[in-house]
């Protein structure tokens, strides 16, 4: 479909560096941020890197279970036609946790005419990033992921992998936040994660034991390419789960895997550079918040209620958004405060940024960042002023300004007029229908709680 001689060189160089690799996994993120795809034989890679190959459009349009979505035309009533899949340059990497020598690469979907496929997550984000060029601005992005490690085995419900008393198997009491002993207890796992990140070119930074026992956070370093930042994010999730499995553990990026423990978020750090490379979020000479940052925050806050269906994409997501759990419950902001939706971390002029804390670790990073950037762009273009800040050292008012209900969030998304102008009207209609389909399927199930609450009494 297209000539990519440089790409063929990239594929050839990768195969030369890894003569033992016999297969390469081609991965495309679906609407949920779950990587779907297939394995290519070694001999197929140069041709794919040069020309791409056909792939069903529904590769990117499945629900969380991997099922077709009956309420959209794609796949159910259009014959599930093929589109075209092209490689993402620079994404070829070995898979260190695989039992057999294996490589991986990301793919992106395009139409048969070569134009970006409207429902491809990378294409949705790319359309929003393009809008910043009209303002002469370049987004710089870093992502932080929280996740839980679980004990290996088949326990239902799962058991969080809390640290052990040094030299024994007893589980200490308490949340164990910032525990170095817990990192020592899992030294082999985190050493493997760090080594795998290096092997795959993922810019992982610090690793922290978080507030929930068995919960950890890995920080990715900032890059001046939003698409690349999200590539790093989805690949880090895959890597953590893969390394955990290799070591007899499991890892989950569910937003709220345990009712009594804190949920897991995906925090987005964002700054903007002008054409001269200056950070437009840098404070002015008097230390005040500059107009560009105020307007960016104002737009981002205004977009949160309608974007919640993206930041919190499934039923479990809304169990995280509860007061007192370091997860935002209202569209608020403030300096150096981890309870608000948008935090201004302490930083010098070069590193001044906003931290968007609404999305759960279960989100599609491409779509979540697209929604964040849509709000920021609208705020800058419209000079939107934010509400008063929550002062440093103060708690936000105990008022929930974000809906705790999945269906309401989907309705708010479907009724919004801002996001279709950025993400695409056809995409927004499809996304709302896909979320409603999954919500209906979820609530039609009869789960354990039905029996625990109602069977004894009714």
Q: Is residue 452 part of a domain?
A: no
How many CB atoms are closer than 10 A to CB 48?
21
What's the CA dihedral at 152, 24, 107, 433 to 10 degrees? -40
Tell me whether the omega of the peptide bond preceding residue 209 falls within 30 degrees of 0, making it cis.
no
Residues 377, 132 contacting (CB under 8 angstroms): yes
Domain-ending residue, one of 117, 143, 176:
117
Residues 226, 139 contacting (CB under 8 angstroms): yes
Question: Encoding tokens for residue 77?
Answer: 């009533």
Q: Is residue 453 part of a domain?
A: no
Please check whether residues 36 and 168 belong to one and the same domain.
no
Please check whether residues 106 and 140 belong to one and the same domain.
no
Tell me, what DSSP letter sits at residue 386?
P
Quick one: the chain helix, strand, coil %, rounded to 5?
35, 20, 45
The domain that contains 329 carries what CATH number?
A: 3.30.590.10
What's the CA dihedral at 52, 53, 54, 59 to 10 degrees? -70
Domain-ending residue, one of 53, 83, 117:
117
Give dist(CA 56, CA 16) in Å, integer.
30
Please check whether residues 263 and 292 belong to one and the same domain.
yes
Please check whether residues 166 and 93 belong to one and the same domain.
no
CA angle 338–343–347, rounded 5-degree value: 110
- β-strand pairing of 333-335 with 342-344: parallel
Domain-ending residue, one of 82, 117, 152:
117
- pLDDT of the residue at 2: 46
Give dist(CA 144, CA 133) in Å, integer.
25
- Domain with 368, as residue range(s), is 129-445
Give dist(CA 15, CA 139) in Å, integer.
33
- pLDDT of the residue at 1: 41
Give dist(CA 79, CA 241) in Å, integer.
34
Closest C-alpha to 182, from 195, 193, 171: 171
Please check whether residues 331 and 291 belong to one and the same domain.
yes
Q: Is residue 299 part of a domain?
A: yes
Alpha carbons within 13 angstroms on the beta-carbon side of residue 418 total 23
3-state secondary structure of 259: coil
Q: Is residue 450 part of a domain?
A: no
Q: Is residue 294 part of a domain?
A: yes
The domain that contains 11 carries what CATH number?
A: 3.10.20.70
3-state secondary structure of 80: coil
Give dist(CA 74, CA 348) in Å, integer.
48
pTM of the model: 0.94
In total, how many domains does the chain have?
2
Please check whether residues 29 and 168 belong to one and the same domain.
no
- pLDDT of the residue at 288: 86
Please check whether residues 169 and 203 belong to one and the same domain.
yes
Residues paired with 102 in a beta bridge? 23
Please check whether residues 205 and 344 belong to one and the same domain.
yes
Q: Is residue 395 part of a domain?
A: yes
Q: Is residue 238 part of a domain?
A: yes
Q: Which residues of the chain have a pLDDT value below 70?
A: 1-8, 75, 154-155, 163-184, 210-212, 397-400
Tell me, what DSSP letter sits at residue 390?
P
Please check whether residues 77 and 172 belong to one and the same domain.
no
Please check whether residues 257 and 192 belong to one and the same domain.
yes
Q: Is residue 193 part of a domain?
A: yes
Please check whether residues 33 and 142 belong to one and the same domain.
no
Please check whether residues 44 and 166 belong to one and the same domain.
no
- pLDDT of the residue at 39: 96
């Amino acid at each position: 479909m297209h000539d990519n001689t440089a790409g063929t060189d990239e594929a050839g160089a990768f195969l030369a560096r890894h003569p033992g690799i016999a297969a390469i996994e081609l991965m495309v993120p679906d609407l949920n941020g779950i990587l779907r795809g297939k394995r290519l034989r070694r001999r197929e890679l140069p041709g794919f890197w040069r020309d791409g190959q056909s792939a069903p459009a529904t590769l990117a349009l499945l629900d969380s279970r991997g099922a077709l979505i009956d309420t959209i035309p794609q796949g159910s009533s259009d014959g599930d036609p093929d589109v075209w899949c092209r490689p993402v340059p620079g994404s070829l990497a070995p898979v260190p946790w695989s039992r057999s020598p294996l490589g991986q690469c990301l793919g992106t979907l395009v139409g048969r005419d070569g134009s970006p496929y409207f429902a491809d997550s990378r294409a949705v984000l790319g359309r929003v990033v393009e809008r910043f060029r009209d303002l002469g601005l370049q987004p710089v992005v870093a992502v932080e992921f929280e996740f839980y490690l679980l004990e290996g085995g088949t326990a239902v419900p799962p058991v969080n992998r809390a640290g052990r008393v040094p030299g024994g198997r007893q589980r200490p009491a308490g949340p164990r936040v910032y525990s170095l002993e817990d990192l020592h207890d899992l030294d082999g796992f985190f050493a493997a994660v760090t080594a795998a990140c290096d092997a795959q070119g993922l810019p992982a930074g610090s690793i922290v034991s978080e507030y929930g026992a068995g919960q950890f956070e890995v920080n990715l370093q900032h890059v001046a390419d939003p698409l690349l930042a999200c590539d790093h994010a989805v690949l880090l999730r895959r890597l953590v789960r893969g390394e955990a499995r290799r070591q007899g553990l499991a890892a989950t990026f569910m937003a709220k895997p345990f009712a009594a423990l804190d949920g897991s978020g995906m925090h987005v750090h964002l700054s903007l550079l002008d054409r001269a490379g200056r950070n437009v979020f840098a404070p002015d000479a008097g230390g005040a918040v500059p107009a560009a940052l105020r307007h960016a925050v104002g737009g981002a806050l205004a977009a949160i209620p309608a974007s919640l269906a993206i930041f919190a994409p499934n039923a479990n997501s809304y169990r995280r958004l509860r007061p007192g759990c370091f997860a935002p419950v209202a569209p608020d902001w403030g300096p150096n405060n981890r309870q608000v939706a948008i935090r201004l971390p302490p930083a010098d002029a070069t590193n001044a940024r906003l931290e968007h804390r609404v999305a759960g670790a279960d989100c599609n990073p491409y779509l979540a960042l697209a929604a964040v950037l849509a709000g920021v762009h609208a705020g800058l273009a419209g000079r939107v002023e934010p509400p008063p800040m929550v002062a440093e050292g103060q708690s936000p008012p105990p008022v929930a300004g974000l809906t705790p209900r999945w269906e309401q969030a989907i309705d708010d998304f479907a009724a919004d007029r801002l996001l279709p102008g950025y993400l695409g009207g056809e995409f927004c209609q499809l996304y709302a229908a896909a979320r409603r389909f999954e919500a209906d399927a979820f609530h039609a199930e009869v789960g354990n709680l039905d029996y625990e609450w109602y069977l004894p009494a009714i």
